[in-house]
Amino acid sequence: MPLNMQVGAARARVLAVAVPGAVALVLALWDVDRGTMWRDEAATVMVASRTLPQLWHVLGTVDAVHGAYYLLMHFLLPLHPGEVMLRLPSVLGASATAGLVAALGVRLVRPRVGLWAGLLYAIAPFAQYYAQEGRSYALVAAAAAASTLLLVRCVERPSARAWAGYGAACAATAWLHEFAILLLAAHVVTLAVTRVPARVWRGWGASAACAALLLLPLVAVTRGQSGQVSWIRRPGREEAEVLLRATTGHDGLLYAVTLALIAVAVSRPPRRRSEGTCGLVGVALPLALVPPLILFAVSQWHPLYASRYTLFAFAGVPLLVAAGAETLLGRVPRLVPAPAVPALAGVGLVAVAFLAQLPLQEHQRSANARRDDLGAVARMLGDRLKPGDPLLYLPKTGRRYVEAYPASVAGVRDVSLRVSGAASGTLYGLDVGPHELAARMDCLPRVWVLFDAEAGYPGWHTTYTSEKAKLAVLARDFTPVTQVRRKSGLLVQYVRVGGAVPGCVG
């Protein structure tokens, strides 16, 4: 190949990877500072803001699955406290994933396929949702895409160093979230359909075994924390359909076209670049299907499935769509000789897909997109509470507001708190017992009560003794006088019926 053609081909490969990464970065930075957090992001702030000994302490009792991520955020959040730094790692993770998806398409087929796949990932609402969330999932997706690219390289040019890099990448991916170890199952299927020789299987087996062994300490700890996922219910057809639509365009023409292009890719996959390499469909289809299917199957007996746990598998979907488009393009007579025209036409269609999903993109950046609007609750507290005011949380999980937005309750007395979360190695701290709580409240002529979102509605009940004690004292000795509600909380001021108990100082 002449030198100028080699330079042009290299430039095309670089652009095919760089452009999707840049697009994903720009979209993820769009309204990244929304002025609010939801409760899982608040947990990130609460835990990552503690000292290293306190962080180690809490991971022994809760959230060990996010330990590596919390450690990263422990060092990043102090650099620029606020929502931008909270979400910046996820923003960069989504940008990296878009580039890595593009790199897979470039390596397995050709630059334009990589460009299309990377752009489809960059504009996907499913990916952008987690690109703007202060949790680990976008980083897991980036690490999984990197691991998959390393697998492809190992198949093409196996060596001890290459397999060591692949094993380290898989281990790092799983340490960011242990369910990402299911990536290995997808890679098994890829190797099987590629029909790799025995030496590749040996290299993969050694690397996978090392990654699994390195994960065992985390598994040993998280097994004792399985109660954290007790809220998860057995997934069924509805959850499967929600995931399918979230990853393929939700509704309408875009949904139908996406499924059609995937079907074309599976039935008529693009040719491999050369013998001894992985095919794009052989990489992308197991990645998209195997981890979610395994998690769904396991969850029929032990519910563990949540859509965010499968974000790393989504990278396979845009690759399949791009492969289907490439197959169709190969069957259409080329009317224009310029090789850049098909690539640009594909970019135009990606732009149309983005515009079709623009309302959803805008909604995802609003305070209503997630379960909670803790920023609004914090502003509500800051406007009404004064230093020294007594405050009671119902239930105590409301205490996450205090640690995520400490200025909103600076100087406020937490009536039921016995030991803080940092000192007790818990997220929310430990409450006093019913008798001590009653004694403390006997001395209060008035008290503010922050009801969490669910607790603020009639009919709410709890099985926890400490929360029942709060409700009992309020019902017996207090009456509500004022209240104000936000999406994620209800703030009520209660006054004692008949005034304070004689001899008490509230």
Provide the H-helix boundaries in 109-159: 111-123, 125-131, 137-156
Of 369, 386, 403, the one marking the end of a domain is 369
Per-residue pLDDT band at 4 (split at 50, 70, 90): low
pLDDT in tens, 400-422: 777 788 899 899 999 999 999 99
CA 43 – CA 65 distance, rounded (Å): 13
pLDDT in tens, 418-464: 999 999 999 888 999 999 999 999 889 999 999 987 776 777 778 78
Assess whether 333 and 390 both reside in one domain. Answer: no
CA 212 – CA 127 distance, rounded (Å): 27
Could you give the maximum distance between any two Cα atoms of the chain, in Å? 97
Of 369, 389, 421, the one marking the end of a domain is 369
By mean pLDDT, which of 159-173, 191-205, 257-271, 400-414 is the weakest?
Answer: 400-414
Residue 3 lies in a domain: no
Which domain does 452 fall in, by range? 374-496
> What is 327-360 written as a DSSP string?
HHHHTS---S--THHHHHHHHHHHHHHHHHTHHH
Assess whether 481 and 346 both reside in one domain. Answer: no
Flag whether pLDDT at 505 surpasses 80. no
Any idea what the CATH number is for the domain that residue 460 is in? 3.40.50
Q: What is the mean pLDDT of residues 340-369?
A: 88
Assess whether 163 and 283 both reside in one domain. Answer: yes
Please give the pLDDT value at position 273: 67
Q: How far apart are the first and last CA of the chain?
A: 86
Quick one: tokens of 473? Answer: 């004292």
Please give the pLDDT value at position 249: 85
Please give the pLDDT value at position 454: 76
> Which residues, in sequence order, are CB contacts of 468 under 8 Å at separation 6+?
434, 462
Residue 402 lies in a domain: yes
Residue 55 lies in a domain: no
Assess whether 87 and 209 both reside in one domain. Answer: yes
Q: Tally the domains of the chain.
A: 2
Assess whether 16 and 138 both reside in one domain. Answer: yes
Query: Strands across the sheet with 489-496, in order?
Result: 413-414, 390-394, 446-452, 489-496, 478-486
Please give the pLDDT value at position 502: 63
Residue 39 lies in a domain: no
Would you say the C-alpha torsion 67, 69, 70, 74 has a positive or negative sign?
A: positive
Assess whether 360 and 447 both reside in one domain. Answer: no
Averaged pLDDT score across all residues of the chain: 91
**In angstroms, what CA-CA distances link 40 with 90, 134, 336, 490, 494?**
14, 8, 52, 19, 30
Provide the H-helix boundaries in 394-504: 400-404, 421-424, 434-442, 465-477
Residue 68 lies in a domain: no
> Which residues, in sequence order, are CB contacts of 125 under 8 Å at separation 6+?
246, 250, 357, 360, 361, 364
Assess whether 325 and 345 both reside in one domain. Answer: yes
**Which of 270-274, 323-327, 464-468: highest mean pLDDT?**
323-327
Assess whether 335 and 402 both reside in one domain. Answer: no
Residue 130 lies in a domain: yes
CA 173 – CA 170 distance, rounded (Å): 5
By mean pLDDT, which of 3-7, 134-138, 252-256 is the weakest?
Answer: 3-7
Write down the pTM of the prediction. Answer: 0.93
Assess whether 296 and 378 both reside in one domain. Answer: no
Assess whether 289 and 192 both reside in one domain. Answer: yes
Assess whether 297 and 401 both reside in one domain. Answer: no
pLDDT in tens, 117-152: 999 999 999 999 999 999 999 999 999 999 999 999
Of 345, 369, 393, the one marking the end of a domain is 369
Q: Which is more confident, 169 or 394?
A: 169
Residue 504 lies in a domain: no
Assess whether 297 and 409 both reside in one domain. Answer: no
Residue 54 lies in a domain: no
Flag whether pLDDT at 44 surpasses 80. yes
